[in-house]
């Protein structure tokens, strides 16, 4: 369920009545107040309040996506959430820090830092936090991120992880899974019955990891 279900009719009334000036105000709404509006009876009002409340736990990437930062859509929001893990760390980041993320360049980095430099935007974030909006990435890995910025190739089958699980793990640890081995590849994870990618790694001098070494590196062993 999503706040986006708020129709224009309802939003318009809320704004006209001064009940909502920015989207942090949505969290202060009550079913009683909403029932005063036209075209929104008690049941809908309660559903709406519940949906708004539930959105507090959408996670940092959804929050960043929802703030409306120029050039930050789903993809950039996920990259930022994955790299910094919490709003506090993102707020403390410099433009250079953000620019260094693979997938984010100078334009987006500047857009993000400009957004957070605006005091009214910081106010909105403060108020969202006080309203109980979760400002951390759900499932974020605490501590060192051994794969930060690393390009990983997976080849062959792993015993303890499916390919999707392995990919998810790499991403959550800050790395990215790429499809072919090149000099820019940081590691090749060699599973069972690995194919030519293992040969490519040897030929190009790219470090290889067997499953045990991979699990150890990612802190799962």
Point out which residues bind DNA (CB under 7 A). 68-77, 101-109
CA distance 126 to 114: 17
- Evaluate whether 166 touches 158 at the Cβ level (below 8 Å): yes
Pairing type for strands 176-177 and 208-209 reads unpaired
Based on CB atoms, which residue is closest to DNA, 103 or 144? 103
Shortest distance (Å) from residue 106 CB to DNA: 5
Based on CB atoms, which residue is closest to DNA, 143 or 179? 179
Shortest distance (Å) from residue 186 CB to DNA: 13
Q: How many CA within 13 A on the CB side of residue 134?
A: 18
Shortest distance (Å) from residue 110 CB to DNA: 8
Shortest distance (Å) from residue 62 CB to DNA: 12
Based on CB atoms, which residue is closest to DNA, 106 or 132? 106
CA distance 57 to 77: 16
Based on CB atoms, which residue is closest to DNA, 83 or 197? 83
Based on CB atoms, which residue is closest to DNA, 70 or 163? 70
Residues in contact with 53: Cβ distance below 8 Å, sequence separation at least 6, in sequence order: 27
Shortest distance (Å) from residue 71 CB to DNA: 5
- Evaluate whether 77 touches 62 at the Cβ level (below 8 Å): yes
CA distance 111 to 115: 6
């Amino acid at each position: 369920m999503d706040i986006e279900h708020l129709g224009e009719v309802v939003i318009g009334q809320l704004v006209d009545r001064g009940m909502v000036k920015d989207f942090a105000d949505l969290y202060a709404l009550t079913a009683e107040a909403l029932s005063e509006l036209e075209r929104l009876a008690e049941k809908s009002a309660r559903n709406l309040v519940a949906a708004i409340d539930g959105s507090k736990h959408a996670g940092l990437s959804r929050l960043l996506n929802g703030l409306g930062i120029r050039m930050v859509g789903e993809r950039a929001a996920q990259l930022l959430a994955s790299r910094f893990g919490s709003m506090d760390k993102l707020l403390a980041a410099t433009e250079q820090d953000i620019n260094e993320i693979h997938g984010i360049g100078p334009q987006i980095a500047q857009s993000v830092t400009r957004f957070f430099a605006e005091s009214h935007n910081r106010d909105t974030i403060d108020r969202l936090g006080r309203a109980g909006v979760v400002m951390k990435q759900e499932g974020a890995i605490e501590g060192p991120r051994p794969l930060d910025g690393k390009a990983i190739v997976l080849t062959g089958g792993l015993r303890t992880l499916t390919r999707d699980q392995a990919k998810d793990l790499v991403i959550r640890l800050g790395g990215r899974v790429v499809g072919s081995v090149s000099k820019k590849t940081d590691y090749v994870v060699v599973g069972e019955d690995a194919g030519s990618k293992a040969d490519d790694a040897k030929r190009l001098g790219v470090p290889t990891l067997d499953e045990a070494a991979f699990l150890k590196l990612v802190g799962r062993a």
